[in-house]
Amino acid sequence: MKHKVPLIEDLIQINYYFIEKDADTEARFEQYTSSLQPNQKKVLFYKDGFQLFYYVGEHPANRLSLMNVPWRTAVSVPQKTPLDAVIPLFRETDYILVKDAADQPIGYVTAADMLTALHQAHQTLKAYFESMIDTMDASISMIDDQERTVVWTKGAERIFSIKADDILSKPMADFFPADRLQILQTHKTGDSVFRKLHQPRPDLYVLINSNPIRLNGQIIGSVVAETDITSEVRLNQELFNATSKVHQLQQQMAQLQPSTDPFSPIKGTSSAIKRTIDMCKKIGTTKATVLILGETGVGKELFAKAIHDVREKPDAPFIAINCGAISPSLFESELFGYEKGAFSGADNNGKKGKIQLAAGGTLFLDEIGEMPLDMQVKLLRVLQERTYFPVGGTKQLKADIRIIAATNRDLNAQVKQGLFREDLYYRLNVVTIEIPPLRERKEDIIELTHCFLNEFSISYSRFIQHVPQDVLLDLLHYSWPGNIRELRNAIERLVVFAADGSVKRDDLPMSIHVSKHRDDSPLQEETPNVIQTLQKELEVHEKQIIIKALELEKGNKLAAAKRLGLSRATLYNKMNKLGFDE
């Protein structure tokens, strides 16, 4: 294949004669001279000890003797020697003897043949490269080690309205702001990017792939491929507006004719959420205990309520209890209730516990991973015996309930650490449902955004007519560590600050601004352009600190409170004030 760098064996010539100095050297030299034919050259290699010489003989050579041949220095290499090790040897000689694995000569290569082969490979590769570049519809641009433009395709001409004749051989920074050139960032840092959203002009959206060009470990240039997605973005905006109107009509219809589908409040059409809903519907035909797993904010209680609705009678109670929000000393009385006079400060009439309130229905144990160990033993007894005693009571009550538990923690790991009872874990882990995080179902973000926009437009009496493209793109490309809860809060914020029927990008939460800033300008200071009141800024910063502490402690509020130097009650008060959902 002519486009590949040649191998030594591809260039070997065999019209040669090899003599090694010994007793028969003179006789063998005469054989060589007599073998020469008119108009034919034959190379003679002569080895004298460790030295190797060559002579290119031609007819007639009968006047030559071994002593008066105009020898020139030669070198020898094994047949499998890499080409990059052979080429430097041509500085010493024009002829290289090639030997096989047994150290026997098999031919020779010349500098002229090597140069011709390399030039042919280069010319072939150049033709392939230029034809490929001319054929591609996408925008391809490339810079050299001096940051000068060396490739500028027709696609680049079309997208950026700059002719190749104008930009080639000139610094690309002469035509674009240097801080907005991904190709320069890649050239300086060596970092690659893949399908990164970029907006080089207000009316243009592209996806960028960027890679450094390396030779011998050194960056000698960079290449960028850009795909114009402006039409897709505009279509997405039109789809958003159309879907928003459809969603408003659906909301109005729903008020007139409420849906009988318990899963209708769960929005989304992605394959991930559809699979989860299908699994929940199958569970609805049984009374099995259900364990729901998922990150904070994915909507575990919403799924629990849907499972309850699909398998219980319409008037069956659904009682939720947050295991992480109740003090350990009060947990037993909250769960089992108490008789009058059971303890100091108890209500004189006693109090029904959550189990009794959920009789004939579902008890939803949210954040089950934070339940105290002593309560885990008592809950296990309820699951096994289906009976319990109220605090201070002597009459055994029946636990006629179905259990749905939920957690954002790894219960299996907690069992190994001794933080969760293994027997209770297996009792709860009869049927497990995993709720996918929002980053794994980004195709649902648009529908969820419509839903929340409509909800808060009604709540705040602010009809939203327009959502800018840059806001939609920010929502689509943010990772949403707080999942649907965080998206809902972000949309509420946009509606609160909306004016003239349109939301603004500057009103997005700081976390989304910071994330976007990191993606677009990694070398610049991560400071948002919008400054709110000092109190608002402090609240936003305080909320981010709490979120980070919860992430570090895997959702354990008690541990997060200790990390922050707060009591758990103080942490809960702050979370309520800052808009965290229980």
CATH number of the CATH domain containing 67: 3.90.1280.20
Domain count for the chain:
3
- The whole-angstrom separation of Cα 380 and Cα 290 is 15
- The whole-angstrom separation of Cα 508 and Cα 488 is 12
What integer pLDDT is reported at residue 485 of this predicted model?
93
What integer pLDDT is reported at residue 210 of this predicted model?
92
Q: Do 217 and 336 share a domain, yes or no?
A: no
Is residue 319 one of the residues assigned to a domain?
yes
Mean pLDDT, the chain, whole residue set: 83
- 269, 232 Cβ separation under 8 angstroms: no
Closest alpha carbon to 483 in 375, 428, 408: 408
What integer pLDDT is reported at residue 221 of this predicted model?
94
Last residue of a domain, one of 434, 463, 489: 434
Q: ∠ CA 21-23-27 to the nearest 5 degrees? A: 85
- The whole-angstrom separation of Cα 465 and Cα 268 is 22
Is residue 358 one of the residues assigned to a domain?
yes
What integer pLDDT is reported at residue 3 of this predicted model?
57
- 477, 197 Cβ separation under 8 angstroms: yes
Is residue 404 one of the residues assigned to a domain?
yes
Q: Count the neighbouring beta carbons within 10 Å of the beta carbon of residue 38.
A: 7
In the chain, the N- to C-terminal Cα span, in Å, equals 68
Is residue 466 one of the residues assigned to a domain?
no
What integer pLDDT is reported at residue 355 of this predicted model?
93
Coil, strand or helix: which one is 536?
helix
Q: Do 367 and 397 share a domain, yes or no?
A: yes
Q: Do 144 and 110 share a domain, yes or no?
A: no
The CATH code of the domain that includes 180 is 3.30.450.20
- The whole-angstrom separation of Cα 162 and Cα 175 is 9
The CATH code of the domain that includes 350 is 3.40.50.300
Stretches in the chain below the pLDDT threshold 50: 517-531, 534
- The whole-angstrom separation of Cα 6 and Cα 121 is 8
Q: What's the pTM value of the predicted model, to 2 decimals?
A: 0.50
